[in-house]
Amino acid sequence: DAKTTQPPSMDCAEGRAANLPCNHSTISGNEYVYWYRQIHSQGPQYIIHGLKNNETNEMASLIITEDRKSSTLILPHATLRDTAVYYCIVRVETGANNLFFGTGTRLTVIP
Amino acid sequence: DTGVSQDPRHKITKRGQNVTFRCDPISEHNRLYWYRQTLGQGPEFLTYFQNEAQLEKSRLLSDRFSAERPKGSFSTLEIQRTEQGDSAMYLCASRGNRGQQAFFGQGTRLTVV
């Protein structure tokens, strides 16, 4: 059910921007792109979502390509507490609105 | 703390025993979801409630799994005749009618020995 592809792992130096890519080439016109993260032994935490425009909030920025087939989550100044598994999910905003998780990207922020 | 609470946080049970987990969603949230997560995998959707109605249950893993939300508030997930393969983290999430983000609890970690 997961319709996204992410690299299994990435490293980022503390204080630098972390850019996490996601491919969703089969995304439909009414599907949103969501990002969640999961820190060890905790439940997933919402980060950001978007439809076709770029979005920014206090946690991150989301850049969606014009054809919507891929996106990038940007953590502008990564800290050690950003070490987590990051999930990119596409979801239609009708019905149950289930989240179908893939295996995500394990981001390790290095001091 | 997301406002979604799960109880217990950890459960160790012997194979063949029944277990029940509880989820208390954020109070005004009418949508409630259960997920299972095994080591190294993302959460796997199990079932969904809107208020007290269980609108999606085809993803429950077997007939040993059942869930209820009798008054549209808290929910329980029961596993009968547990097997070692049931060992996993069981996550609950809730969502409001207008909200787009789901809030997850900390999960219940089940170990079947």
**B2 vs A43, A100, A104: nearest CB:** A43
Q: Which of B42, B36, B26, B37 is nearest to B94 (CA)?
A: B26
Phi, psi of A82 (to 5 degrees): -85, -5
Concatenate the DSSP letters of all residues of B92-103 into one string.
EEEE-SS--S-E
Contact A99 B33 (CB under 8 A): yes
The pLDDT, as a whole number, for residue B25 is 96
Contact A45 B104 (CB under 8 A): yes
Other Cβ atoms within 10 Å of B71 Cβ, number:
9
Torsional sign, CA A35, A36, A39, A45:
positive
Phi, psi of A58 (to 5 degrees): -70, -15
- Residues A43-94 pLDDT 10s: 999 999 999 989 999 999 999 999 999 999 999 999 999 999 999 998 877 6
Pairs across A and B, CB distance < 8 A: 57
Contact B45 A1 (CB under 8 A): yes
Q: Which residue has the tokens 């905790």?
A: A42
The pLDDT, as a whole number, for residue B99 is 65
Tokens read off for A7: 């690299």
- Position B30: which residue type? N
CA distance A103 to A6: 8
The pLDDT, as a whole number, for residue A102 is 86
Dmax of chain A from CA atoms? 43
CA distance B9 to A69: 39
Beta strands in chain A (DSSP E): 9-13, 18-23, 31-38, 45-50, 55-56, 61-64, 70-75, 84-92, 105-110
The pLDDT, as a whole number, for residue A5 is 93
Over chain A, what is the mean pLDDT?
Answer: 92
- Residues A20-30 pLDDT 10s: 999 999 898 88
Nearest residue of chain B to residue A101 (CA atoms): B42
Assess whether the previous peptide bond of B8 is cis (omega < 30° from 0): yes
Residues near A54 by beta carbon (within 8 Å), at least 6 away in sequence: A61, A62, A63, A64
Residues facing B77 on adjacent strands: B21, B67
User: How close is the nearest chain A Cα to the Cα of B90, in Å?
Assistant: 10
Nearest residue of chain B to residue A106 (CA atoms): B40
pLDDT of B3 above 70: yes
3-state helix, strand, coil in chain A (%, to 5): 5, 50, 50
Chain B residues closer than 8 Å to A92 by CB:
none
Beta strands in B9-84 (DSSP E): 10-13, 19-24, 31-37, 44-50, 53-56, 65-68, 75-79
